[in-house]
Structure 1
């Protein structure tokens, strides 16, 4: 029998776990495991990749949520998977650890995970029909498998991907390695160690860490993991201690850098003290200090402009810039670093912007007669350090 005949027979008769029927209709020469694979049946472990992909996209999904997830109620109505035209598509289950009032959990699906659920429903339909005819309530569940071939369909069990399981089933490990070879450069022991770490729990933890790295917020991480409230102790289960410690000290360093910048903004030694590590940091400092709003009593000390004229943008004839030795030193250093750049086409937009502003400010100070401003410029020129700016001006334009 060729594959077309096998599939036609299965489509006509549906799933059966009767060995006599299987041998008579399909051929005793084909092993049940191979036959199940040819027919695309959800055998043991075959739905695990679907579950992993769901968890990666929606880290609030837990092991308990997926276990025996009910797709249909007793009347046959679909309750676990809801598709709506206006509110999107939802996977609905229960998470017992949240308590009775919060046990129902609704996960809003995206287009890719909606497609995953629809595929799972199609794949498991033959088993579902078989169980329904026999009044076995397992038919109502989303994840159903038929063992390693044509066993009686039952609730899907999670495969054990760990060192002890691999040691007891070397052929299973070899099969997994072959499947992963096309998707990773890991081989032999390194690949085995990687596979031994794959589980719903580790995938959730990794996805939670990604949210934390993007948002720097443990509250957002807790929300992404589906926690009813933020719990420090619970977060420590997901966030590696080294990463948590790094970001906790990072915020301390940010505040310390802020104090240094504020304290040294009037000093020509600002660059040495602050040691800006990125164009973004320098841009924020200059924006907050060089282009800050000038108080009304300083910009219009004689009160010669009316309130209406002050608020009208089209009446503004000049731009007021706050200048002191620290700011001037930063601007001149940046300007000279941009002018000396060996690859000017790679300079980021922010560096070009501040260098242009520096040229205009220097020209304005030189043209005027303000002694204090000229002193600030003189201090800046004597303390400027283009070398400190070289590493900042080439940052990518996406950050500019």
Structure 2
């Protein structure tokens, strides 16, 4: 059984009596000195042991038997240690840690009750005699084999054969083992058709829904009735309302909830309905659409909205009085400094990886190899540690991950595991962040999901993630969100990024070889990590790279460019480090590209957008800039109005968003101008207004689909009118306008007075043609009716 998975078994929380549970928890902290994050896993191990080996009824265990009998207490501890080494699925070092903590706990526990604990010898590198005796004792006592199977959990496999935990304990507690076994089979058949990277999302959605079922239906029979074809739509609506209400109480975004609900129902249908495990509903399950205000049609995504911290850094504090062109220059300067800071420091970190890689290749060949701890002959004759890196690196590369939890001590880095990992140049979240950041800076179309899906080799061992086409090198991966037909995305590399990827491949080669020798398919992927105990494929790479960790902390220092010109000071660098993620770098690059090129086509191509509508790009702005300038223009207008209203008031500068020193510049750039001539000519005298209007020689129409619908209706009604039908006077004038405007679209006349309408107006006309007004109703409203 896996310790991490025990937290998904609600049954464990009722195993110990409240008082004894608190006592053990306190002893883990005070006597065993367990870290805060280690206490819950230790408790779950102990709960599991008690439930399997000690408890014989459903009554919470209060430990009365071991409080009053020294022999019983010693037997209890010995059996617990035997249970840990026999049943817990973990490294030898991890099992040693649990056993060590409980030795401390029960030594203190015994002292409180005037008893003595016999010392049990344990080791973190091998099974000693005392440990084997504990295992034998545990195997001799009566245990609940059904609970052993229960706590071992349920597994399912993905398309590549990788195993994943399936948390069905809540379902099993409610509906029993037999029904749970059926559900397990159905889900396993479903997940085996999906990629590794999708399984986590699939399981979390399906299990959240199934666990919600257990709150609404307390028996298998009740659930069966609720999921009958005539009842299931109403039942699902109740489940939807319940889950939405809980989500809103937690202040979660309702839009995301509705989006996830739709995906969940789609998965449920494919997994359970299409396979006929549950009956098909008489009508489809409710999948509501979340309505929200539409975003501006004149904006384009730059890889997601800016976070508040990013807005504060790049778009806040720009003086209101300066020209908008100058404001753009300020934003561009801020982005340039931040990105150059990231690029400069990250490049130095990357050069460190390169340097250690070259050095270690030599060390592997020239260093002496220290025997493993069990082979004591030459152990002390070969020095390791920071002063003997040649031997340290050679020894690790020879033994690999075989040393176990005491690797840092064995290699002379006792208590300095992170330093040893860096000297060994193993791939870590930090080093992957360094490489990912440099790649995204050069190729912002790369996303975290692209990196997650990046395979170096296919199933047949052919290299597919890095290819040469002619003289060009191309990196190839997938973006699942783009759909099956456009999922593959190729990145044409520069000489520099080709070098980066070559270093990445070599940097992960040791981890890749270890994974390949263990079986499975994780070794085929590009982005791998390793600790001193083993290698792995990160399951949530995007989240790991975005977490504030060693890479971000390394960016929190003052920086200088290659010419020793200052980029960021310590304070500014620290604030920037808080917002640095692969996505934020990509967003910043999108903005930077736009500000440099003034071209949304360049932004769309750089970010790998699927669709580029060239006829619209000229009027687009990146969405964050559009939102920023909309707010800025509103504030400028408000301040201009306030100035005109309060310019003679002593309270003027209390009302404005700037001080007196900036007033002249604001008025120069943003003061309200004079009214247009046509508005200034408006007179209260109706005769003068008519005379002015009659003298106008042009008229401007603002075209829209509704206006074109009306013009088409007027033309149609007048052209087909009978001789005795009379229309209201204004219609005759609008008919002339309708004929003139519509002839531009119909192009029936080809004389010089007509020309093709603007391209962007044609879709408006086509929409009006396809959605005509009701002519009978329209005609009735424009006919002249005499009293």
Using the size of structure 1 for normalisation, the TM-score is 0.52
Deviation, 1:124, is: 0.5
Residues 355-386 of structure 1 show CA distances to partners (whole Å, capped at 9, x for unaligned) of xxxxxxxxxxxxxxxxxxxxxxxxxxxxxxxx
Is the CA contact 2:552–2:578 (under 8 Å) kept in the aligned structure 1? no
Once the two structures are TM-superposed, the CA of residue 213 in structure 1 deviates from its matched residue by 2.7
Residue 205 (str. 1) matches residue 591 (str. 2): no
In 2, Cα distance between the equivalents of 1:173 and 1:213? 26
**1:137 to 2:521 alignment:** yes
**Is 2:536 aligned against 1:153?**
yes
Q: Provide the rounded CA distance (Å) in 1 between the counterparts of 2:418 and 2:406.
A: 16
* 1:208–1:177 CA distance, 2 compared to 1 (3 A): closer
Seen in structure 2, the aligned counterparts of structure 1 residues 110 and 185 have a Cα distance that, compared at 3 Å, is closer
Matched, 1:196 2:581: no
Residues 205-214 or 50-59, more deviating: 205-214
Q: In structure 2, how many angstroms separate the alpha carbons of the residues matched to 1:174 and 1:105? A: 32
Residues 600 and 622 in structure 2, CA contact (< 8 A), matched pair in contact too: no
1:175-190 mapped onto 2 (5 Å cutoff):
176-178=555-557, 186-190=568-572
Q: 8 Å contact 2:455–2:524 — kept in the other structure? A: yes
Tell me what 2:272 maps to. none
Q: Which residue does the alignment assign to 2:414?
A: 29
3-state SS of paired residue (1:226): coil
- Quick one: which of 19, 26, 33 aligns to 2:405? 19
* Structure 1 unmatched runs, 5+: 247-400
- Mapped to 2, the partners of 1:22 and 1:8 lie a distance apart of 14
Q: Distance in 2 between matches of 1:28 and 1:60?
A: 41
Superimposed CA distance per residue, residues 134-192 of structure 1 (whole angstroms, 9 cap, x where no aligned partner): 01321111011125x54442327347688xx66xx8x98755535x6567654454322
Question: What is the root-mean-square deviation in Å for CA atoms of aligned residues?
Answer: 3.4
1:183-237 Cα offsets, whole Å, 9 max, x none, are: 765445432221122122222222222332333221221111100113789x866
For residues 533 and 621 of structure 2, what CA distance do their matches in structure 1 show? 43
* Residue 216 (structure 1) aligned to one of 598, 605, 623: 598
Q: Distance in 2 between matches of 1:82 and 1:126?
A: 22
SS at match of 2:510: helix
Counterpart of 1:98? 482
**Partner Cα separation in structure 2 for residue 174 and residue 93 of structure 1:** 29
CA distance in 1, matches of 2:467, 2:573: 38
Are 2:507 and 1:123 equivalent residues in the alignment?
A: yes
SS at match of 2:459: coil
Match of 1:343 in 2: none
Cα distance in structure 2, aligned partners of 1:96 and 1:41? 29
* 1:208/1:239 contact within 8 Å kept: no
Give the Cα separation in 2 of the matches to 1:131 and 1:101.
Answer: 31
Secondary structure of the residue that 1:82 maps to in structure 2? Answer: strand
Match of 2:445 among 57, 60, 68: 60
How many Å separate the matches in 2 of 1:213 and 1:32? 45
CA pair 126-161 structure 1, distance change in 2 beyond 3 A: closer
Name 2:391's counterpart in structure 1.
Answer: 5
Residues 206/28 of structure 1: CA separation in 2 closer, same or farther (3 Å cut) = closer
Separation (CA, whole Å) in 2 of partners of 1:96 and 1:222? 19
Q: Helix, strand or coil: the match of 1:229?
A: coil
Residues 243 and 113 from structure 1, CA distance in 2 versus in 1: closer, same or farther, beyond 3 angstroms?
farther
Higher relative contact order (CA 8 A, sep 6+): 1
Structure-2 separation of matches of 1:244 and 1:63: 30
CA distance in 1, matches of 2:444, 2:551: 28
Deviation at 1:15, TM superposition (A): 4.5
Using the alignment, how far apart are the partners of 1:65 and 1:95 within structure 2?
5
What CA distance in whole angstroms lies between the structure 1 residues aligned with 2:596 and 2:552? 35
Distance 1:139 1:55 in 2: 23
Deviation at 1:91, TM superposition (A): 0.6
Bigger Cα displacement from structure 2, 186-195 vs 130-139: 186-195
Is the CA contact 1:69–1:143 (under 8 Å) kept in the aligned structure 2?
yes
Assess if the C-alpha contact under 8 Å between 1:41 and 1:123 holds in 2.
yes
| Alpha-carbon distance in structure 2 between the residues aligned to 1:22 and 1:197 | 33
CA deviation map 1:276-321 (0-9, x unaligned)? xxxxxxxxxxxxxxxxxxxxxxxxxxxxxxxxxxxxxxxxxxxxxx
Q: CA–CA distance in 1 between the matches of 2:581 and 2:465?
A: 23
How far is the alpha carbon of 1:22 from its aligned partner? 5.8
- Which of 199-208 and 11-20 deviates more? 11-20
Could you report, residue by residue, the CA deviation over 1:231-259 in whole angstroms, capped at 9, with x for unpaired residues? 789x866652268779xxxxxxxxxxxxx
**TM-score normalised per structure 2:** 0.28
Higher alpha-carbon Rg: 2
Specify the SS of the correspondent of 2:477. strand
Cα 1:244/1:208, change in 2 over 3 Å: farther
What is the distance in 1 between the residues matched to 2:489 and 2:581? 21
Q: For residues 1-42 of structure 1, what are the alpha-carbon distances to aligned partners after superposition, in whole Å with 9 as ceiling and x for unaligned? A: 201111222333345462256644x23636222211111111
The answer as to whether partners of 1:17 and 1:152 remain within 8 angstroms in 2 is no
C-alpha distance in 1 between matches for 2:407 and 2:597? 58
**Taking structure 1 as reference, are residues 181 and 30 closer, same or farther at Cα in structure 2, changes over 3 Å only?**
farther
Contact 2:477 2:490 (C-alpha < 8 Å) held by counterparts: yes
- 1:48–1:159 Cα contact (<8 Å) kept: no
Distance 1:227 1:192 in 2: 32
Give the SS at the match of 1:107.
strand
Aligned residues: 237
Q: Equivalents in 1 of 2:394, 2:602: separation in Å? A: 51
On the 8 A contact 2:528/2:535 being kept in 1, the answer is no
Q: Are the counterparts in 2 of residues 205 and 238 from structure 1 also a CA contact under 8 Å?
A: no
